[in-house]
Amino acid sequence: MRWNNLFDDLESQLEHELGAEDSDLQAEEERLRIGRMSIRDRLWALHEHSAGARYLVRLDVGGSLIRIAPSGLGKDWLSGSVVGEAEHRIQVIVPLRSIRGIILDRDQTSNSVAVPSRAGHTGLSVRLGMAFVLRDLCRRRCELDLVLVGATVHGTIDRVGRDHVDIAVHEAGTPRRSSAVAQYRIVPIDQVLLVRW
């Protein structure tokens, strides 16, 4: 009888150690998975697992905070609506490189590290960079603000190159006409911190 107890005790110790080893292995795999995640991956998981989520984004524009209701995520940009007291809806495109921080609640933080579907990594949006989005705004002839390092430029985008945009600078609320254009600027895309319209 003592031998049976001894073998039962050894068996339970072995099962416990194997279970602990499995849980340590799973924890290490999870740490490695999270360690490979980019900010885009975190935003995609948040977008996928927190439908309708709003969160604060701290930008490289004097450390300003904007609350965004996200609507899209591309290769190197986030789009959405600014949530605030404004009567009309302000749309923004935020290059991921200009984000200095994202403020989330506890549930959003957990959702941002959840395993996203592969659709976020294989869809068309993965390949659409900032220049593509700016070309779309150019085609639509949108009047917009380009928030740059140290300045904000208001106008209409005339052309988009691989790494720059041509913008016709004019007064807000004035249609883009040759007579209304104060100047033309070539702006490197990597100087754009925020696009607002």
Percent of the chain past pLDDT 90, that is, above it, reads 42
Q: How many Cα atoms are found within 13 Å in the side-chain-facing hemisphere of 150?
A: 2
DSSP calls for the chain? -HHHHHHHHHHHHHHHHHHHHHHHHHHHHHHHHHHT--HHHHHHHHHHHSTT--EEEEETTTT-EEEEEEEEE-SSEEEEEE-SS-SSPEEEEEEGGGEEEEE--HHHHHHHTS---THHHHSGGGG--HHHHHHHHHHHT-EEEEEETTEEEEEEEEEE-SSEEEEEE--TTS---GGG--EEEEEEGGGEEEEE-
Q: What's the pLDDT tens digit per position in 53-104? A: 778 888 766 678 888 888 888 999 999 888 875 666 899 999 999 998 888 8
Q: Domain 131-196, what architecture? A: Roll (2.30)
State the pLDDT at residue 86: 64
180: pLDDT strictly greater than 90: yes
Q: Domain 39-126, what architecture? A: Roll (2.30)
Across 15-24, average pLDDT: 72
The whole model's pTM is what? Answer: 0.80
pLDDT category at 118 given cuts 50, 70, 90 is low
